[in-house]
Amino acid sequence: MSVVIETTLGDLTVDLFTDERPVACLNFIKLCQLKYYNYNLFHTVQQGFIAQTGDPSGVGNGGSSVWGVVEGMQKRFFEAEYIPKIHHSSAGMLSLVSAGKNLVGSQFFFTLGENLISLDGNHCVIGEVVEGHEVLRKLNDAIVDDNFRPYQDIRITHTVVLEDPFPNPRGFQVPSRSPSPSAERLQNGRIAADEDIDETNGKTMEEMQEMLAEREAKARATILEIVGDLPDAEMAPPENVLFVCKLNPVTTDDDLEIIFSRFGVVKGCEVIRDRKTGDSLQYAFVEFEDQKSCEAAYFKMDNVLIDDRRIHVDFSQSVSKVTWRGKGRGVVGDGSQLDFNNLRESNGKKHESKPRKRGQEDRRGQGDRRMDRNRNDEQKREITSEERRKAREQRHREQREREDRGRRNNTQRSRSRETNVRHNERYERRRSRSNDRNVDRRRPTSPYRGSRYSPERRRRESQRDRSEDRHHRTQANSQSERRQAERKYKEKESENVSKVRKRVAVEEERASKKRSKRAKSSSSESSDSSDDSESSSTDSSDESSSDERSKRKKHGKSNQKKSKTKRKHKSKKKHKK
């Protein structure tokens, strides 16, 4: 016999144990036909344990059996069957809640865990969920308070009895339709199931941004799970591994291990390299012993200079070294186990191993052998620290050789470039010289080559050549004449200067003699001083006038000579031009 229980989270289909629990099943079926459970609240939800309902008031201490509803509250409870024993062995078992001394009423619960031995013998198991286990998982994930009461209401909306093998009790009447919810049944609710919850109400901007970031991260993880990049969306990367990028190609595993070991014990340090060439891809992963050391290195080593490069450090998001065990069975990493347990494993109980068939054992054995073979290959591929050091030295040596080779090639290119430039300059000079020599060279004239080599053309060219030769000769003669004229001019100037100096000396001597004579004559004869002075003045005036005339004549001759030389010089310059 089956009953469908419709809830706000989904539908549950329950198969009842009518043969083992006939009285308890009759009570449950008749209450479902009376629509007694409609709008009943799941007032207690304990994760991994039970989800209880069946109290119309929603408090948890009410409810009545079908005989209490029909005949009165004196028959609120009845004694249920407990033999044969049915255990709470798996999630989805339906049991009536006992009020003590095997007395039960209308309240019941669904088990959310396995092997709940503490419930055996106290509560009456009457059925099992056969469809709707996803609804049970939603019930198990409901958010509750300290009293295990959900914040958002989870209610039974309707019940449908698929088959009723029992007769109706005395005074039992089935309603023609489902009754409307009463105020008594809705008064103990919190947030209605169909009510929109504003999760941002009362939160700061930072909290809202953090919530949105978490949602986006979950969405991206779900997409990666769908694509196949992640085995599960809930898988989290290890918290003790750092991602280091922007490394120098010469930085090695040992260098990073020495640098990061000051923050704590480093379990492993690996610089990722190209498979074919072995060159560094300039990023690495550093694994610490504990999370605290990893966080200290994250805060201290970001933007630090290593081998002339400023590195960037962040927490690793890689799950490549995590082995997926299957949905709900967790993962296994290097030396540590991260369990994402399902309901069965949450109680600390392991699954009992089921017997496998022979084909399954053969396939499992093949898989184990394949894993052992891969593990042996990985062990063979491991190298010792000495081999790693030699390989590192070899890489450094090859890199230095490449740098030296590139430097030599650069010097050779610069030298060849300089030689090419010199050759080009030499070629240009030779070409310009040959062009200058061949300016006047013409091909031999011929009467059959047109007007280009006509007699008139040859006559003009010969005249031009003669005029150019004459010009060159006159230019050379003019230069020699100019030098001779300059030499003569300098000699004449020196002669004139010497003559002027001699004349000045003679005049000074004469003037001194005259002054001495005047002094003597003034002391001896005073009467004849006037006559003598007149005669001397006339003589001196005559002499001075004669001297002035001679000076003027000489000065005029020298000016005439200078003007002649200037005219000759100007005429030579004009001729040159």
User: Binning pLDDT at 50, 70 and 90, where does residue 450 land?
Assistant: very low
Q: Check: CB of residue 95 under 8 Å from CB of residue 74.
A: no
Task: For tokens 């300039």, name the residue.
Answer: 282
Out of 129-138, 341-350, 390-399, which region has the weakest mean confidence (pLDDT)? 341-350
Residue 569: predicted pLDDT: 64
Q: Check: CB of residue 123 under 8 Å from CB of residue 98.
A: yes
* pLDDT, tens digit, 9 for 90 and up, residues 506-530: 888 888 888 888 887 776 655 554 5
DSSP state of 521: H
Query: What is the mean pLDDT of the segment spanning 403-431?
Result: 77
Query: What is the mean pLDDT of the segment spanning 527-545?
Result: 53
Q: Is the dihedral of CA 450, 456, 462, 463 positive or negative?
A: negative
Residue 359: predicted pLDDT: 43
In terms of pLDDT, which residue wins out, 118 or 554? 118
> How long, in residues, is the chain?
577
pTM of the model: 0.41
Mean pLDDT of the chain: 77
Helix spans in 159-201 (H): 183-186
Residue 326: predicted pLDDT: 46
Instruction: Give burial (CB, 10 Å; 0-12/13-18/19+) of 188.
Output: middle
User: Binning pLDDT at 50, 70 and 90, where does residue 304 land?
Assistant: very high
d(CA 69, CA 63): 9
Residue 29: predicted pLDDT: 93
Compute the half-sphere exposure of residue 283: CA atoms within 13 Å on the CB side of its CA. Answer: 10
Residue 546: predicted pLDDT: 64
Q: How far is CA 379 from CA 320, 375, 376, 384, in A?
A: 18, 6, 5, 11
- Beta bridge partners of residue 144, listed in sequence order: 150
SS3 179: coil
- Tokens read off for 390: 């030699």
User: Binning pLDDT at 50, 70 and 90, where does residue 364 land?
Assistant: very low
Task: For tokens 């369990």, name the residue.
Answer: 339
Residue 126: predicted pLDDT: 94
Out of 75-89, 221-235, 346-360, 379-393, which region has the weakest mean confidence (pLDDT)? 346-360
Q: Which of 404, 482, 459, 468 lies closest to 439 in space, CA to CA?
A: 468
Provide, rounded to the nearest whole percent, the portion of the chain with pLDDT above 90: 31
Amino acid of residue 249: P
* pLDDT, tens digit, 9 for 90 and up, residues 474-499: 766 777 777 888 888 888 888 888 88
Residue 404: predicted pLDDT: 81
Out of 287-291, 387-391, 423-427, 567-571, which region has the weakest mean confidence (pLDDT)? 567-571
Amino acid of residue 98: S
- Residue 245 pLDDT exceeds 90: yes
Residue 160: predicted pLDDT: 93
Residue 371: predicted pLDDT: 52
CA angle, 47 then 49 then 54, to 5°: 100
- Residue 270 pLDDT exceeds 80: yes
What stretch of H or E contains 374? helix 358-381
